[in-house]
């Protein structure tokens, strides 16, 4: 489990084809402790550290991860958001994030409200709009955010300056794909209601 509070941005060093999947090497940010077997949220997807040679952390991307996320388009020099798994003793400052991506979205527009932050409009994959609840939680590339003004398959998020600085969302442009994870509590309620 994660909180959606990104700890670091990191550069992709290498991507290798491995059967139906890929192995990606990411430069370990200063002070980012992760060992073999640890779970790390990489731009919204929960991945396992499969090797930690020197300055890098390596992760295997399965065929399912490649199909469900935009991580298949990673290239050397690209950047990802990183967050280590939370401990049960940690404070929960964001929201409960599993790292199980529900689908993708596309940046539809980027706006400047004039306060140092930014607004981003995101269009979601068909079917994900049912999870867009005004003032509800959503993880965008692993970042815990609040849904604002949902309308059909589109919603807005407001990004404060610290989010722009610490995450890859500060460099986003219209047309870019993002990984989306809907609020886990909403998904459980939906499933329980279907069974009754």
pLDDT at position 5, please? 93
Model confidence, pTM: 0.92
Q: Which of these, 144, 128, 124, lies nearest to 136 by C-alpha position? A: 144
Confidence of residue 196 (pLDDT cuts 50, 70, 90): low
d(CA 155, CA 147) in angstroms, rounded, equals: 6
pLDDT at 121 over 80: yes
Between the two ends of the chain, the Cα-to-Cα distance in Å is 28
In eight-state DSSP terms, residue 97 is: B
All domains of the chain, ordered by start, with CATH?
A: 8-84 (2.40.30.20), 103-185 (2.40.30.20)
49 neighbors 37 (Cβ within 8 angstroms)? yes
Sheet holding 118-124, edge to edge: 143-146, 137-140, 177-182, 103-111, 118-124, 154-159, 148-151
């Amino acid at each position: 489990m994660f909180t959606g509070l990104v700890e670091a941005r990191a550069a992709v060093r290498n991507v290798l084809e491995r059967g139906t999947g890929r192995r990606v090497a990411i430069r370990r940010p200063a002070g980012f402790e992760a060992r073999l077997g640890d779970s790390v949220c990489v731009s919204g997807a929960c991945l396992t550290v499969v090797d930690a040679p020197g300055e890098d952390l390596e992760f295997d991307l399965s065929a399912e991860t490649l199909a469900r996320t935009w991580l298949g388009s990673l290239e050397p020099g690209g950047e990802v958001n990183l967050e280590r798994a939370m401990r049960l003793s940690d404070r929960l400052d964001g929201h409960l994030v599993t790292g199980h991506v529900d689908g993708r979205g596309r940046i539809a527009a980027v706006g400047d409200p004039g306060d140092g932050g930014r607004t981003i409009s995101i269009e979601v994959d068909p079917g994900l709009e049912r999870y867009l609840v005004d003032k509800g939680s959503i993880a965008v590339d692993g970042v815990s955010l609040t849904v604002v003004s949902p309308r059909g398959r589109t919603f807005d998020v407001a990004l404060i300056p610290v989010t722009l600085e610490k995450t890859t969302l500060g460099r986003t442009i219209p047309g870019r794909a993002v990984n989306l994870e809907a609020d886990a509590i909403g998904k459980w309620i939906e499933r329980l209601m279907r069974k009754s």
